[in-house]
Amino acid sequence: MIALLLFFIFSIPQEPKIVTCTVVEPDKSVACPERGEMFLFSFDDANEAKQIFDEWRLVAPMQGGRANADAPLSTAPVKVGDKVKAIIVGNNFKPVAECNVRVWRRVKEHHKPGEIPSNMLFTLPADCQPGYGKQ
């Protein structure tokens, strides 16, 4: 009975968690924490590496301390030692843009140019909050 219970507990898909990785080599590899250890993720396929690092290069225009959704995104180089975010589930690796870019996208989806969106749309994602990951 206990074995069956443990099977169900561990067979239920875990909630994907955003982790903060460190760039080891731009456009090539990052080191990410996984189960208390650091793992190196290398991207040998040039197209895959470009897609992943392009997401991390995005920079949202800011205005008054908030992402300005009326202006376009720009890009900035990713350097050795930069902190970037990713979702890692099993062998799946998905890059996650910076908090300001994610807020920019959310605001962009919910308002027309020049319109002032509600403050609710400016709320930072959970992993951008100061207490994220501290338990």
Residue 10 is assigned to a structural domain of this protein: no
Residue 47 is assigned to a structural domain of this protein: yes
CA distance 123 to 103: 8
Residue 27 is assigned to a structural domain of this protein: yes
Residue 9 is assigned to a structural domain of this protein: no
**Dihedral angle over CA of 110, 111, 117, 120, nearest 10:** 0
Helix, strand, or coil (residue 42): strand
Asked whether residue 8 carries a pLDDT value surpassing 70, the answer given is no
Helix, strand, or coil (residue 87): strand
Asked whether residue 125 carries a pLDDT value surpassing 90, the answer given is no
| Closest to 52 in 3D by CA, of 38, 37, 40, 42 | 42
pTM to 2 decimals? Answer: 0.78
**Domain that residue 45 falls in:** 15-128
pLDDT 10s digits, 12-67: 455 567 899 999 999 999 999 877 888 899 998 989 899 999 999 999 998 888 88
pLDDT bin (cut points 50, 70, 90) of residue 129 is: confident
Residue 114 is assigned to a structural domain of this protein: yes
Asked whether residue 120 carries a pLDDT value surpassing 80, the answer given is no
Residue 8 is assigned to a structural domain of this protein: no
pLDDT 10s digits, 68-84: 888 899 999 999 999 99
CB atoms within 10 A of CB 133: 12
Residue 7 is assigned to a structural domain of this protein: no
Each residue of 90-110: b (16+ CB within 10 Å) or e? eeebebbbbbbbbbbbbbbee
- Domain count for the chain, please give it: 1
Q: Which residue has the higher pLDDT, 97 or 93?
A: 97
